Amino acid sequence: MGEEEGLHQTQLLDTMFVRGLKRKCFDGEEDIEGTLAGFKAIPSYNLQRQSLLDMSLVKLQLCHMLVEPNLCRSVLIANTVRQIQEEMTQDGTWQMINTQSAGQTSLDRLVSTDILCRSSKEQAEGKLVPVYSTFTKDCEGTQSQDNSEIMSTVTSPQVPKNLQSNLWEMENPQENRGNFQKSLDQIFETLENKSPNTVEDLFSEVDNSYYDLDTVLTGMMSNTKMGHCDLETFPSQTSTNSNSNCKSDLNELDHIVEILVES
Amino acid sequence: MAGVAGGGGGGGGNDFQWCFSQVKGAIDEDVAEADIISTVEFNYSGDLLATGDKGGRVVIFQREQENKSRPHSRGEYNVYSTFQSHEPEFDYLKSLEIEEKINKIRWLPQQNAAHFLLSTNDKTIKLWKISERDKRAEGYNLKDEDGRLRDPFRITSLRVPILKPMDLMVEASPRRIFANAHTYHINSISVNSDHETYLSADDLRINLWHLEITDRSFNIVDIKPANMEELTEVITAAEFHPHHCNVFVYSSSKGTIRLCDMRSSALCDRHSKFFEEPEDPSSRSFFSEIISSISDVKFSHSGRYMMTRDYLSVKVWDLNMENRPVETYQVHEYLRSKLCSLYENDCIFDKFECCWNGSDR
Give the model's pLDDT for residue B357: 79
A197: closest CA among A144, A151, A133, A128?
A144
Q: Is the pLDDT of residue A187 over 50?
A: no
Q: Name the residue in chain A with its Cα closest to that of B339.
A: A14
- 10 Å CB burial of residue B291 (0-12, 13-18, 19+) is buried
Dist CA B299 CA B316 (whole Å): 9
Identify the band that residue B349 occupies on the pLDDT scale cut at 50, 70 and 90. Answer: confident
Handedness of CA A167, A170, A175, A176 (dihedral sign): negative
Handedness of CA B115, B118, B121, B125 (dihedral sign): positive
Angle between helix A45-65 and helix A105-124 axes, rounded to 10 deg: 70
The proportion of chain A whose per-residue pLDDT surpasses 70, expressed as a percent, equals 18
Give the model's pLDDT for residue B359: 75
Q: Enter the DSSP assignment of B281.
A: G
Pair A58, A127: CB distance under 8 Å: no
- 10 Å CB burial of residue B238 (0-12, 13-18, 19+) is buried
Angle between helix A45-65 and helix A209-223 axes, rounded to 10 deg: 80
Q: Give whole-number Cα distances, A247 to A121, A167, A235, A241, in Å.
A: 18, 18, 10, 12
* Burial per residue of A87-102, b for 16 or more beta-carbon CB atoms within 10 angstroms, e otherwise: ebbebbbbbbbeebee
Look at A78 and B27; give whichever has higher pLDDT.
A78
Look at A44 and A263; give whichever has higher pLDDT.
A44
Give the 3-state secondary structure of residue B7.
strand
Q: Is the pLDDT of residue A132 over 80?
A: no
**Centroid of chain to Cα B361:** 21
pLDDT digit string, tens, across residues B174-187: 999 998 899 999 99
State whether B339 and A17 contact (CB < 8 Å).
yes
State whether A84 and B228 contact (CB < 8 Å).
no
Dist CA A124 CA A184 (whole Å): 22
Whole-number CA gyration radius for chain A: 19
Lowest mean pLDDT among A82-91, A165-174, A234-243, B227-236: A165-174
Identify the band that residue B46 occupies on the pLDDT scale cut at 50, 70 and 90. Answer: confident
Residues in chain A with CB shorter than 8 Å from the CB of B122 are none
Give the one of A59, A76, A84 whose C-beta lies nearest to B293's C-beta: A76
Q: H helices of chain B, where?
A: 288-292, 339-344
pLDDT digit string, tens, across residues A190-219: 444 444 444 444 444 444 444 444 444 444
The proportion of chain A whose per-residue pLDDT surpasses 90, expressed as a percent, equals 2
Chain A: residues touching B (Cβ < 8 Å): 10-11, 13-18, 20-21, 49, 52, 55, 59, 67-68, 70-73, 75-76, 78-80, 82-84, 129, 178-181, 225, 227-229, 232
Dist CA A236 CA A5 (whole Å): 32
The proportion of chain B whose per-residue pLDDT surpasses 70, expressed as a percent, equals 92
State whether B286 and A18 contact (CB < 8 Å).
no
A47: closest CA among A169, A177, A137?
A137
* A225 DSSP β-pair partners: none
Look at A236 and A242; give whichever has higher pLDDT.
A242
Residues in chain B with CB shorter than 8 Å from the CB of A72 are 203, 234, 236, 253, 293, 349
pLDDT digit string, tens, across residues B101-145: 999 999 999 989 999 999 999 999 999 999 998 888 888 888 877
Dist CA B292 CA A249 (whole Å): 42
pLDDT digit string, tens, across residues A228-238: 443 333 333 44
* B83 DSSP β-pair partners: B58
Rounded to the nearest 5°, which phi and psi values hold at A122? Answer: -75, -25
Angle between helix A209-223 and helix A243-262 axes, rounded to 10 deg: 40
* B48 DSSP β-pair partners: B62
* ipTM summary value: 0.83
Pair A74, A59: CB distance under 8 Å: no
* B314 DSSP β-pair partners: B309, B329
Mean pLDDT confidence for B311-329? 92
* Burial per residue of A30-58, b for 16 or more beta-carbon CB atoms within 10 angstroms, e otherwise: eebeeeeebbeeebbbbbbbbbbbbbbbb
Q: Is the pLDDT of residue B285 over 60?
A: yes
pLDDT digit string, tens, across residues B191-250: 999 999 999 999 999 999 999 999 999 999 999 999 988 899 999 999 999 999 999 999
State whether A83 and B230 contact (CB < 8 Å).
no
pLDDT digit string, tens, across residues B236-283: 999 999 999 999 999 999 999 999 999 888 787 788 899 999 888 888
Q: Is the pLDDT of residue A255 over 70?
A: no
